[in-house]
Amino acid sequence: MINTQQLKKVYDNGFEAVKNLSLHVHKGDIYGFLGPNGAGKTTTIRMLIGLIEPTSGELEVSNLNVKKNKEEIKKHIGVLPESHGYYEWMTGEEYLQFFSALHKLDKKQRKAKVAEVLDLVSLTSKANVKISQYSRGMRQRLGIARTLIHDPEIIFLDEPTLGLDPQGQKDIENILLNLNKVNGVTIFITSHLLKDIEKICNRVAIVKTGTLMEEDSVQSLLDKYKKEIHKEDLSLEDVFFHLTSDRKEEQ
Ligand SMILES: Nc1ncnc2c1ncn2[C@@H]1O[C@H](COP(=O)(O)OP(=O)(O)OP(=O)(O)O)[C@@H](O)[C@H]1O
Ligand SMILES: [Mg+2]
């Protein structure tokens, strides 16, 4: 679903945010893209969705070369960015109608599609409430609904649970598990909530200062690092700290 080879991003000021990253996301994965602040996660997502140009390297999303198919790619992917605004004056339904129009959905299909995605994120009862009255959890769920409006094969979610209370986090997890299982959506997610990532992701990549430290199934990583980290009930969080803990290097 996603293949990158030696992906690199050097920003205009000379800062190398992503270094030779080779990632492999399979169809049907819930793929956790993990790393400390500043590791290059958002930069990588921006390259994968065609928003910024890589300095070098190859990248393919949905079997399409991203550099050559910037417009076509948009039909295959949904994106919930790290920070984004909502149109406060709209209701949830109007907001999704607006995005269904942007994606040029057939007018007749729009209403049904909006109802379907509202249901997927459990917002049907709030469809006619103004977004200004939505809680942060409801906003994030509406954001996820927005990514689904054109039936993408893969969605990119950059910290969708940031700032949510435990119930809000759990709601998002359940929505994602359901979307993946029932609708077959491949999910590329970044989050700092490693316990949740361990629960919902089948595969993860761990990056540190733009460099890939590991990419594997959660179980393989736990098995591999059991030999190095001597700890009962080893968790993904332990592996993460083991691979990324030298904070001096990051800053
Ligand atoms: N436009 C830019 N110009 C120069 N440097 C940038 C730019 N955008 C990001 N950076 C730097 O690139 C590095 C990676 O940033 P990025 O936002 O990709 O990290 P991240 O892994 O998403 O972090 P976080 O967990 O905080 O969201 C950081 O050091 C950041 O300061
Ligand atoms: Mg980020």
Helices (H) and strands (E) in the chain, counts: 10, 11
Task: Give the whole-number percent of the chain exceeding pLDDT 70.
Answer: 98
Q: What mean pLDDT value characterizes the chain? A: 92
- Integer CA distances (angstroms), 56 to 11, 22, 23, 73, 188, in order: 12, 12, 14, 19, 22
pLDDT over 50 (residue 108): yes
Indicate the top mutation candidate among 9, 43, 47, 188 to test ligand 1's pocket, ranked by most ligand atoms within 8 A of CB: 43
pLDDT over 60 (residue 179): yes
Least confident of 53-57, 103-107, 203-207: 103-107
pLDDT of 250: 44
Determine if ligand 1 sits within 6 Å of the CB of residue 51.
Answer: no
Task: Report if residue 208 sits inside a domain.
Answer: yes
Confidence class of residue 70 from pLDDT cuts 50, 70 and 90? confident
Task: Report if residue 192 sits inside a domain.
Answer: yes
pLDDT over 70 (residue 44): yes
pLDDT of 238: 93
The enclosing domain of 190 has a CATH number of 3.40.50.300
Determine if ligand 1 sits within 6 Å of the CB of residue 91.
Answer: no
Distance 200 CA to ligand 1 centre (A): 25
**Number of independent structural domains in the chain:** 1
Task: Report if residue 24 sits inside a domain.
Answer: yes
Task: Report if residue 89 sits inside a domain.
Answer: no
Determine if ligand 1 sits within 6 Å of the CB of residue 207.
Answer: no
E strands, the chain, are 2-10, 16-21, 24-25, 30-34, 56-61, 64-65, 77-80, 154-158, 186-190, 203-208, 211-217
Distance 47 CA to ligand 1 centre (A): 12
pLDDT over 80 (residue 246): no
Determine if ligand 1 sits within 6 Å of the CB of residue 143.
Answer: no
Confidence class of residue 248 from pLDDT cuts 50, 70 and 90? very low
Determine if ligand 1 sits within 6 Å of the CB of residue 15.
Answer: yes
* Residue 13 Cα: closest atom of ligand 1: 4
Task: Report if residue 145 sits inside a domain.
Answer: no
d(CA 198, CA 194): 6
Least confident of 71-80, 144-153, 240-249: 240-249
- Predicted model pTM: 0.94
Task: Give the whole-number percent of the chain exceeding pLDDT 90.
Answer: 83
Task: Report if residue 16 sits inside a domain.
Answer: yes
Task: Report if residue 161 sits inside a domain.
Answer: yes
| Choice between 248 and 99, residue whose per-residue pLDDT is larger | 99
- Which residues neighbour ligand 2 (ion) by CB within 5 Å? 41-42, 82
Structure tokens at 66: 């991203």
* Residue 18 Cα: closest atom of ligand 1: 14
Paired residues of 1 in beta bridges: none
**pLDDT tens digits along 229-244:** 888 889 999 999 999 9
Give me the mean pLDDT over the 98-105 stretch: 91
Residue owning the nearest CA to atom 25 of ligand 1:
37
Angle at 54 between CA 40 and CA 186, to 5 degrees: 65
* Residue 45 Cα: closest atom of ligand 1: 18
Task: Report if residue 102 sits inside a domain.
Answer: no
**pLDDT tens digits along 136-166:** 999 999 999 999 999 999 999 999 999 899 9
Give me the mean pLDDT over the 78-93 stretch: 89
pLDDT of 251: 43
d(CA 139, CA 23): 30
Domain around 186: 2-83+153-248
Confidence class of residue 1 from pLDDT cuts 50, 70 and 90? very high
